[in-house]
């Protein structure tokens, strides 16, 4: 049973057979406990009626009378005082009636062989054609006492019905087996499709579309599989884009460094030109160094970002430290810094949270023109701390806002050579905030400025 198709068929067949056996045992027990006493009483009453009718027609021959009664669906065994017996109707399978049972009926007692018939697990007592499975009642014929034993002739009463039930059962089994084959194929078919699709995805083909319109568990599995395929396709596209961006970001400064290094070797170059080219080489080297650090940071955050030790972090004090650290940058551009900080603390990684404010503040400084303003506000509630960093810089379009946190995305692509920027800063910010279960939102308008809203829960 290596395939699911065979397993379902075998399990279904086993269940059907087991159910039939259990049903037979249950019906047999029900007959023994409830129906057998009722059947005994009913046959006893019929036997009394047969005797009463004979008494009312005393001149009739007993053999002729009992032969006529067999047409009603009963069989009889008539025993006289000497123990000689005569069967009327179909013969009994076994003549296993005890002598003392005959004697008790001769003495005027009723023999309840149906009610007292022993239980047999594989034979329902109602259909067991034995002499001891009868009702015995005394019968007086022309002054002589006889013992009359009566039981239904089941082959006569239920012959056609038993044949009908047997045909019905066989047809039910045949059609059940065929329907199991068809339904199992219907169930297994989409699973086979999923298996083939899984193999294709494992081979790198993520363009998989499963046309499964079922609403059951398999249908949900197929839809989830399609979603997974789409996510894998998007992930692969992002991976390729990431590799392409990394290659570009590394190759560009390396090409610049290589080219300007060759120019610096020119002995006829003036000191000012050499200084200019060395400044560019230094700048590109710093850019490469920053790119390496940020890539390592992102790799660390992607794999074990939640493993950092958590300590109490004062948000307002961290922002003050960042403003002090970047003082030369914002003073060099004559920027105004407006601080409205309220004390607020959370539990988290001190270094990572510090990097949030450093990246956001340096971005605000970088993209705010000379003489602009940067406003920073914090407030605390019982659940966490809110912070907003607002600038009067170049702003962003709606399309930029939706992609600003993508890795290597740059709003002002014209600045990527003049500014030491890698396009990874905001991606790192968002990743750190997600690790701390916080949120970040952006409001921006071109030539007006941008506002970054950060929320960090206390725990």
Say if 407 falls within a structural domain: yes
Where is the domain boundary, 157, 189, 223? 157
**What is residue 417's predicted lDDT score, i.e. its pLDDT?**
39
Does residue 374 belong to any structural domain of this protein?
Answer: yes
Say how many C-beta atoms besides its own lie within 10 A of residue 84's C-beta: 8
Among 105, 133, 157, residue at a domain's last position? 157
Return the closest-CA partner of residue 446 out of 398, 374, 389, 376: 398
- Is residue 190 situated within a structural domain? no
pLDDT tens string 317-353: 999 999 998 899 899 999 999 999 988 888 888 888 8
Return the DSSP state at 303: H
- Token pair of 143 as six digits: 């002054």
Q: 76: domain CATH number?
A: 3.30.450
Q: For residue 316, is it within any domain?
A: yes
The residue from 157, 174, 193 where one domain ends is 157
Q: Check if the beta carbon of residue 194 is closer than 8 Å to that of residue 11.
A: no
What integer pLDDT is reported at residue 18 of this predicted model?
Answer: 81
Task: Give tens-digit pLDDT for 394-429.
Answer: 888 888 888 888 877 776 544 443 455 667 788 888
Calpha distance 160→169 (Å, rounded): 14
* 172 occurs within a structural domain: no
Instruction: Residue 418: name the closest of 319, 317, 280 by CA.
Output: 280
Q: Answer yes or no: is 289 within a domain.
A: no
Quick one: which of 352, 348, 341 has its CA closest to 312? 348
- Expressed as residue numbers, the domain containing 417 is 308-457
Residue 348's DSSP bridge partners are 311
Counted domains in the chain? 2
> Residue 142 — left, alpha, or beta (φ > 0 → left; ψ -120 to 50 → alpha)?
left
pLDDT for residue 414: 41
| 246 domain residue, yes or no | no
| C-alpha distances in Å from residue 147, one per residue of 96, 132, 294 | 15, 13, 109
Under-50 pLDDT residues of the chain: 1, 413-418
CATH number reported for the structural domain that contains residue 393 in this entry: 3.30.565.10
Looking at the domain assignment, is residue 298 inside a domain? no
Residue 337, pLDDT score: 92
């Amino acid at each position: 049973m290596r395939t699911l198709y065979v397993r379902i068929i075998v399990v279904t067949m086993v269940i059907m057979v087991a159910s039939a056996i259990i049903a037979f045992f249950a019906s047999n027990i029900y007959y023994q406990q409830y129906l057998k006493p009722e059947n005994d009483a009913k046959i006893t009453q019929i036997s009394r009626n047969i005797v009463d009718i004979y008494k009312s027609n005393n001149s009739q021959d007993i053999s002729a009378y009992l032969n006529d009664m067999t047409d009603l669906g009963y069989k009889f065994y008539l025993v006289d005082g000497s123990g000689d017996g005569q069967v009327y109707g179909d013969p009994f399978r076994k003549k296993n009636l005890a002598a003392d049972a005959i004697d008790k009926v001769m003495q005027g007692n009723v023999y309840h062989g149906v009610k007292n018939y022993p239980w047999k697990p594989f034979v329902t007592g109602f259909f067991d054609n034995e002499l001891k499975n009868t009702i015995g009642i005394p019968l007086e014929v022309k002054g002589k006492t006889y013992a009359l034993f009566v039981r239904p002739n089941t082959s006569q009463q239920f012959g056609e019905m038993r044949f009908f039930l047997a045909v019905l059962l066989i047809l039910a089994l045949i059609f059940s087996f065929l329907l199991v084959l068809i339904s199992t194929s219907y169930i297994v078919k989409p699973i086979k499709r999923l298996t083939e699709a899984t193999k294709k995805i494992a081979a790198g083909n993520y363009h998989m579309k499963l046309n499964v319109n079922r609403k059951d568990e398999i249908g949900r599995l197929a839809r989830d599989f399609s979603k997974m395929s789409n996510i894998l396709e998007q992930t692969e596209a992002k991976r390729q884009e990431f590799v392409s961006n990394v290659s570009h970001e590394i190759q560009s400064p390396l090409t610049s460094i290589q080219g300007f290094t060759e120019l610096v070797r020119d002995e006829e170059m003036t000191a000012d030109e050499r200084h200019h080219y060395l400044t560019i080489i230094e700048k590109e080297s710093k850019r490469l160094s920053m790119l390496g650090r940020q890539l390592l940071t992102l790799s660390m955050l992607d794999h074990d970002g939640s493993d950092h030790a958590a300590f109490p972090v004062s948000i307002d004090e961290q922002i003050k430290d960042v403003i002090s650290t970047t003082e030369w940058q914002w003073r060099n551009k004559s920027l105004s810094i407006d601080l409205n900080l309220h004390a607020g603390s959370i539990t988290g990684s001190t270094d990572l949270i510090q990097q949030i404010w450093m990246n956001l503040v340096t971005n605000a400084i970088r993209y705010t023109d000379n003489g602009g303003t940067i406003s920073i506000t914090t407030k605390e509630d019982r659940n966490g701390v809110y912070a907003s960093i607002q600038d009067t810089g170049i702003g962003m379009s709606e399309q930029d806002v939706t992609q600003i946190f993508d890795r290597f995305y740059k709003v002002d692509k014209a600045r990527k050579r003049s500014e030491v920027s890698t396009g990874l800063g905001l991606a790192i910010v968002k990743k750190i905030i997600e690790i701390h279960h916080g949120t970040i939102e952006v409001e921006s308008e071109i030539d007006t400025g941008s506002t970054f809203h950060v929320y960090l829960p206390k725990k």
